[in-house]
Amino acid sequence: MTNDPSMPLANDAPLGSGSESAIEPERYEFRAPAVHHFGLQRRDFFKFLGAGVLVVCALKQVAAAQESGAPPPGGLGFGPPLPKEISAWLHVGENGVTVYTGKVEIGQNIRTSLAQAVAEELRYPVGKVELTMGDTQLTPYDMGTFGSRTTPTMNLQLRKVAAAAREQLIALAATKWNVDAQKLKAVNGRVEVAGTKRSIAYGELVAAQQLTAVIPADDPLIPPAQWTVEGKSISKVDGRDFVTGKHRYPSDQTLPGMLYGKILRPPSFGATLVSINAPSFDLADNVTFVRDGDFAGVAAATEAAATRALNALQAKWNEQPQISNSDLFAYLKGNSVDAKGFEGAQKYETGSVDKDLAAADRQLHQTYTVSYIQHAPLEPRAALAQWSGNMLTVWTGTQRPFAVRTEVAQATRVPEEQVRVLMPDMGAAYGGKHTGECAVEAARLARAANAPVKLVWTREEEFTWAYFRPAGVIDVAGGIRNDGALAAWDYTNYNSGAAGIRTFYEVPSQRIVFQPTRYPLRQGSYRALAATANHFARESFMDELAHAANMDPLAFRLKNLKNDRLRAVFAAAAEKFGWNRAKPAPGHGFGIAGGFEKGGNVATCVEAAVDRESGFVKIARVVVAFECGAIVNPENLKNQIVGANIMGIGGALFEKINFAGGRILNAQFSKYRVPRFSDVPPIDVVLLDRKDIPPAGAGETPIVGLAPAIGNAIFQATGKRLRSLPMIPNGLNSA
């Protein structure tokens, strides 16, 4: 297919090549400011870390080469200034190995997979690699943990850093023993003379050393085919802390003298505070009351006292008229925003769409819709803030600690250097915790109270005041020739987003538009972003076209698909599922769908069983074939794929935010249904390992094939075509 580089659509890298641009050109990933310069000097590092070997990964290769020079043979430079833009570093000290990265652990298991990368290259026990993550004071700047970027970027960088450290340790031993470095081997935390009993532990080797190395981006690495630690399944490095309840999540943090915060929320979105009356509070409760513009909140000695104080506030609000979800889709279609540049419409066009559509043997026009849904991570937003003088420390759950530092500094009007944000491994996010609302609120209360304040959002707050996955309307028109070849494709997505919007099928004439609109609810990132919506529309529509062409849905896709990696996952999923062999039982249907996003290729087959009378739909089984380059940790990859598909069941079938008058009507788990044990079908995962392609992330893309595959299966079972996500919030009979 042709690619016009001037068209800034989300996946305009050559499809199937595995390449993608470094920054997601995606409006719903919150964008970050420029990289900060990092001010630590060599001396500071060793003062802080102790003697040893320090290897830093420089973001800018040129600068790194200039500033470090080539390391002298047999040892490292002693005096080169460190580069300013660092992405990670590793320290081998007398007491162990520590790695520092701004990435954070949110359940995607990177604390383990990154430790694995380091262990592999460093030849060191994986369980002994200490990772310090997402601490704005101790780790290098990082834009954030999202967009499935950790595996393609940080994993590679840490492998390089660890490989360099290994070489330096070998060089140190060579000097010490006065033997040829070629004869030395690094094995399990020791350097040994190959074929002899002579060996020395890393810790002993680095005693009293202060060596630094700077690694640019392209050092040789162990090729995936020779991996011994990576590519294997390793259990979660700190698993024991989780099964014993010892791990401290953001909401579990405490400090002596800590107060509990509560925030006064407006009755509806957009309401402004007119006046507020705070009664006098019980002295024993130690209540602090803060009003600052539209912000009002309290802090007190116990959570119960804070809640009492909050309930005692008498506030008057000025409310704005708001639309409700029954008007949503008409609203989105009727409120296009025409802006210039990144905020405006994005369009890709090739061939003559109108002409080819009109001339096609068959044409089809359909509209698909996608509702607002909530991430609802099981741990809601939480923060603990502590001021000491003008210095602020905040422990909080976020995917972007550095961005939260900026947000908190701006909100509290102190310089960023005076704010430290720490991110204890948290109770998940799925794209929903890019922001720092809770951290800002806790910081504001803590300053007024002159004491540390902890704030944990209630489930209802999380459902109401966090942001949502954008709703959208998608119009598609397609034309096919009698032989089943696609002739024209006309596709417009209103509001939901541009991720995964481009078609990977061969179509000579295409017009693909992302049209931003005004929107009623706060919206932001979500696992896989709009790729879920765009795959739902595209792959449902492809199914409709296949039926219109009287062709098997898989055969129809393959006829219009050249991309080898996608063909391979379609073939693998179909084979495992028995697409061409088995026929569905009465009341059952088969559906297939697939796609490409963020370096990953997925194909999903679903068997749905429908009870005609009750309309009850059961997903009988799912097969997912996935390929994202070389596999780093197969067990963890499967865990991510299965998890994404189970989460996807909710958005596909029943998850939906209901709202009216600026209020969320189902801000509770009792009213917002999420997938539970009994919703889970058998899920078979087929992994394709491409050792010749660098690994891409896998936390997101496996979700995109599920919804259209379910819809296509329901259609085959019942003849009913479902074009709205969620498809059956109230059962099939009322869909």
- Interface residues toward another protein, by CB under 8 A: 106-109, 235-236, 239-240, 242-249, 251-252, 254, 260, 302-304, 376-380, 425-428, 430, 456, 458-459, 635-636, 639-640, 642-647, 668-670, 674-678, 680, 683
By CB under 6 A, name the binding residues for ligand FES. Answer: 107, 378, 428
Look up residue 416 and give its amino acid.
E
CB of 665 to ligand FES, least distance (A): 20
Residues comprising the chain, all counted? 735
The Cα 397–Cα 423 span in angstroms is 6
DSSP string, 609-670: EE-TTT--EEEEEEEEEEE-SS-S-HHHHHHHHHHHHHHHHIIIII----EETTEES--STT
CB-count exposure of residue 75 (10 Å: 0-12, 13-18, 19+): middle
CB of 647 to another protein, least distance (A): 5
| SS3 state of residue 507 | coil
CB of 637 to ligand FES, least distance (A): 16
CB of 372 to another protein, least distance (A): 17
The pair of three-digit structure tokens given for residue 78, joined into one six-digit string: 């002693």
- Between 231 and 250, name the residue whose CB sits nearer to ligand FES: 250
- Between 268 and 640, name the residue whose CB sits nearer to ligand FES: 640
CB of 668 to ligand FES, least distance (A): 10
Helices 156-177 and 110-122, packing angle to 10 deg: 30
Residue 247 site contact among ligand FES, another protein, none (CB < 5 to 8 Å, cut-off depends on kind): another protein
Cβ atoms of 490 and 478 closer than 8 Å: yes
The pair of three-digit structure tokens given for residue 443, joined into one six-digit string: 């910081």
CB of 107 to ligand FES, least distance (A): 5
Cβ atoms of 531 and 597 closer than 8 Å: yes
The Cα 294–Cα 316 span in angstroms is 11
Cβ atoms of 529 and 431 closer than 8 Å: yes
Report the candidate in 583, 633, 297 with the shortest Cα–Cα distance to residue 440.
297
The Cα 339–Cα 208 span in angstroms is 60
Report the candidate in 140, 40, 154, 48 with the shortest Cα–Cα distance to residue 93.
48
The Cα 338–Cα 389 span in angstroms is 47
Residue 376 site contact among another protein, ligand FES, none (CB < 5 to 8 Å, cut-off depends on kind): another protein
CB of 593 to another protein, least distance (A): 19
Residue 254 site contact among ligand FES, another protein, none (CB < 5 to 8 Å, cut-off depends on kind): another protein
The Cα 649–Cα 612 span in angstroms is 21
Residue 680 site contact among another protein, ligand FES, none (CB < 5 to 8 Å, cut-off depends on kind): another protein
The Cα 478–Cα 377 span in angstroms is 38
Residue 109 site contact among another protein, ligand FES, none (CB < 5 to 8 Å, cut-off depends on kind): another protein
Residue 98 site contact among another protein, ligand FES, none (CB < 5 to 8 Å, cut-off depends on kind): none
- Between 380 and 629, name the residue whose CB sits nearer to ligand FES: 380
CB of 459 to ligand FES, least distance (A): 8
Residue 708 has φ and ψ, to the nearest 5°, of -65, -35
- Between 245 and 321, name the residue whose CB sits nearer to another protein: 245
| Long-range Cβ contact pairs of 30-35 (< 8 A, separation 24 or more) | 30/144, 30/400, 30/403, 30/434, 30/435, 30/524, 30/525, 32/143, 32/144, 32/400, 32/402, 32/403, 33/403, 33/406, 35/59, 35/85, 35/141
Residue 445 site contact among another protein, ligand FES, none (CB < 5 to 8 Å, cut-off depends on kind): none
- Between 427 and 694, name the residue whose CB sits nearer to another protein: 427
Residue 596 site contact among another protein, ligand FES, none (CB < 5 to 8 Å, cut-off depends on kind): none
Cβ atoms of 404 and 385 closer than 8 Å: no
- Between 107 and 216, name the residue whose CB sits nearer to ligand FES: 107
The Cα 486–Cα 197 span in angstroms is 68
Sign, CA dihedral 170-176-181-186, equals: negative
- Between 520 and 650, name the residue whose CB sits nearer to ligand FES: 650
CB of 242 to ligand FES, least distance (A): 9
- Between 251 and 601, name the residue whose CB sits nearer to another protein: 251
Cβ atoms of 439 and 453 closer than 8 Å: no
CB of 337 to another protein, least distance (A): 32
Residue 195 site contact among ligand FES, another protein, none (CB < 5 to 8 Å, cut-off depends on kind): none
Give the torsion through C-alpha atoms of 670, 672, 675, 677, to 10 deg: 0
Distances (CA, A) of 692 to 155, 209, 223, 718, 728: 16, 38, 9, 43, 42
Residue 635 site contact among ligand FES, another protein, none (CB < 5 to 8 Å, cut-off depends on kind): another protein
Report the candidate in 638, 621, 634, 649 with the shortest Cα–Cα distance to residue 706.
649
CB of 645 to another protein, least distance (A): 7
- Between 5 and 677, name the residue whose CB sits nearer to ligand FES: 677
Cβ atoms of 652 and 674 closer than 8 Å: no
Residue 688 site contact among ligand FES, another protein, none (CB < 5 to 8 Å, cut-off depends on kind): none
CA-only gyration radius of the chain, Å: 27
Residue 33 site contact among another protein, ligand FES, none (CB < 5 to 8 Å, cut-off depends on kind): none
Which residues make beta-bridge pairs with 386? 393
| SS3 state of residue 370 | strand
CB of 668 to another protein, least distance (A): 6
- Between 108 and 148, name the residue whose CB sits nearer to ligand FES: 108
- Between 178 and 678, name the residue whose CB sits nearer to another protein: 678
- Between 412 and 645, name the residue whose CB sits nearer to another protein: 645
CB of 648 to another protein, least distance (A): 8
- Between 32 and 428, name the residue whose CB sits nearer to ligand FES: 428
CB of 261 to another protein, least distance (A): 13
CB of 107 to another protein, least distance (A): 3
Residue 674 site contact among ligand FES, another protein, none (CB < 5 to 8 Å, cut-off depends on kind): another protein
- Between 430 and 514, name the residue whose CB sits nearer to ligand FES: 430
Residues 6+ apart with CB under 8 A from 288: 259, 298, 299, 300, 445, 448, 449
CB of 378 to ligand FES, least distance (A): 4
- Between 29 and 425, name the residue whose CB sits nearer to ligand FES: 425
Using CB atoms, what's the residue nearest to ligand FES?
378
The Cα 207–Cα 635 span in angstroms is 37
Residue 550 site contact among another protein, ligand FES, none (CB < 5 to 8 Å, cut-off depends on kind): none
Residue 430 site contact among ligand FES, another protein, none (CB < 5 to 8 Å, cut-off depends on kind): another protein
- Between 86 and 133, name the residue whose CB sits nearer to ligand FES: 133
